[in-house]
Structure 1
Amino acid sequence: MKLYLLCPTCGSDDIKKNGTTRRGKQNYRCRDCGRQFVEDPQWKRIEPDRTALIDRLLLEKIPLAGIARVMEVSEDWLQRYVNEYYEQVPQQTQVESKPKGSHQVQMDELWSFVDHKGNKQWVWLALDVVTREIIGCFIGDRSKESAQGLWESLPAVYRQCGVVYTDDWEAYKSVLPSKRHRVVGKETGLTSYIERFNNTLRQRVSRLVRKTLSFSKSIENHKAAIWNFIHHYNEQLHVTG
């Protein structure tokens, strides 16, 4: 009796039985392309439009467990997908080139942690006052070396020409060029844009929400999640600008 099944890969109806799976379900094999499959599989292939939606959900304040529930996928599958996705996220700024001239930069740092609150990871950020782009980021401790990492993450034109506004944290003073470094208080409003972005990060990236249960367990994914949002944020500036 001919089987009324179609191969999920090539669409052929030249199908034969091919034993059973380890769960006891009937296995089939396509004679044309060799694909093996079962009828009505428990786990189905995630279509590209669904993975695109997952990509967008990763930019919202939703923990992975919540995304798995909404998308009706297993948490194990989602974690593997996220690991592969985050491996492809560039960890350097991607902003439009700027001409040499006067550029104003605001810098600030944001506390976070990985795995437990004893493993503090500070997110150091730099913002272009005119374009509002995030032009630099470094994630590490709160030392001079991390401040140096932030400085080196800036495109060359900002390191050559930028006037930088920061708070009174000592690490900045030991790294930034003294002639172009301005130490200011919050009351001046001269670091208000970067402080506002810090709030945006806490509102949009679930692992940065205060008292969150959606914290990072690996430093690699922690960094990639933050960089992923930074790239999205800068892209949206260009769309709406």
Structure 2
Amino acid sequence: MCEEPSEGVCPTCSSEQVIKNGSTHNGKPKHQCKSCGRQFVINPTNSPVSAETKHLIDRLLLERISLRGIARVTQVSWSWLQDYVSQKLARTPRQVTVSVKLSGKLIIECDELWSFVDSKKNGVDIWLAIDRNSRKIVGCFVGDRTRKSARNLWASLPEVYQQCAFVYTDFWQAYNTVSPHKRPKAVGKETGLTNHIERLNNTFRQRVSRLVRDSLSFSKKLHNHIGAVWYFIHGYNAELDMI
């Protein structure tokens, strides 16, 4: 038995050959156009998310607020926000672009920041390198605590840093094979020579909700975790450009 066309007009092709086609999660009847196949709801209560709201979401992603919190603040649906954020993180570049003014000696500080994905049993280390003079993040790699990850951190640096920069690190032995030109100088916290990178680690903990200790906000997928780290890096560097 065929369904009779329901009242309404297709918003895509203006055809009146529209039939009922189930209902939404909140009980509103869905319709489908027999001419073009478009599925829609008559008189929908949810309007398209505006460019202003998307811009606000982009800024809120740089602060310590969960996705649930962002959905409440911006009054967008949870499912829409998940899709929007996942697509944005997937498009985020995994490399830093910096313009260096060679006015003095290039010095970088390196350190690792522990995090996890889905479960604390799945530890993930965020390797970071910061320019001591500009305070910008110039390198990053998300992986384990092996020498391979240390080399990947080095490979993420812009070429000028690989060729010219002097490196300060902690005593983690993986750094010994990082630089092909000279071994990084391992120093203790008491020297103050890695203060900037250690302060940066604290900034990550304070502003990226996925990295807050004892928090319900955490990544369930590694690619989203990596994307969130890089998204913050680009936002952090952009803020320094505005100073």
| TM-score above 0.5 | yes
Cα shift at 1:20: 4.4
Of residues 89, 114, 121, the one that matches 2:124 is 121
Of residues 187, 192, 196, the one that matches 1:189 is 192
User: Percent of aligned pairs with the same residue?
Assistant: 52
Q: Deviations over 1:1-53 (max 9, x none)?
A: xxxx9x989xxxx9969454533659699xxxxx9865531332111111111
- Alpha-carbon distance in 2 for matches of 1:89, 1:49: 20
- Alpha-carbon distance in 2 for matches of 1:118, 1:28: 47
The answer for the alignment partner of 1:159 in structure 2 is 162
Deviates more, 1:110-119 or 1:172-181: 172-181
Of residues 137, 141, 146, the one that matches 2:144 is 141
Mapped contact 2:143–2:149 kept (Cα < 8 A): yes
Are 1:49 and 2:52 matched, yes or no? yes
Q: Quick one: which amino acid aligns to residue 22 of structure 1?
A: G
Q: Quick one: which amino acid aligns to residue 41 of structure 1?
A: P
The structure-2 alpha-carbon separation of the partners of 1:222 and 1:91, relative to structure 1 and needing over 3 Å to count, comes to: same
Are 1:71 and 2:74 matched, yes or no? yes
Deviates more, 1:145-154 or 1:15-24: 15-24
The SS at the match of 2:134 is coil
Mapped contact 1:99–1:157 kept (Cα < 8 A): no
The SS at the match of 2:242 is helix
The structure-2 alpha-carbon separation of the partners of 1:93 and 1:113, relative to structure 1 and needing over 3 Å to count, comes to: same
- Alpha-carbon distance in 1 for matches of 2:93, 2:191: 34
The answer for the alignment partner of 1:207 in structure 2 is 210
- Alpha-carbon distance in 2 for matches of 1:230, 1:91: 10
Scaled by the length of structure 2, what TM-score is found?
Answer: 0.84
Q: Quick one: which amino acid aligns to residue 193 of structure 1?
A: H
**Structure 2: segments with no counterpart, 5+ residues:** 1-7
Are 1:132 and 2:107 matched, yes or no? no
- Alpha-carbon distance in 2 for matches of 1:73, 1:52: 13
The answer for the alignment partner of 1:220 in structure 2 is 223
- Alpha-carbon distance in 1 for matches of 2:178, 2:106: 18
Deviates more, 1:115-124 or 1:36-45: 36-45
Tell me how many residue pairs correspond in the alignment: 230
Q: Quick one: which amino acid aligns to residue 143 of structure 2?
A: G
The structure-2 alpha-carbon separation of the partners of 1:192 and 1:177, relative to structure 1 and needing over 3 Å to count, comes to: farther
- Alpha-carbon distance in 1 for matches of 2:87, 2:215: 24
Of residues 219, 229, 235, the one that matches 2:238 is 235
Q: Deviations over 1:103-133 (max 9, x none)?
A: 1110000000000011110000001111111
The SS at the match of 1:137 is strand
The answer for the alignment partner of 1:87 in structure 2 is 90
Cα shift at 1:98: 4.5
The answer for the alignment partner of 2:174 in structure 1 is 171
The structure-2 alpha-carbon separation of the partners of 1:202 and 1:16, relative to structure 1 and needing over 3 Å to count, comes to: same
Q: Quick one: which amino acid aligns to residue 56 of structure 1?
A: R
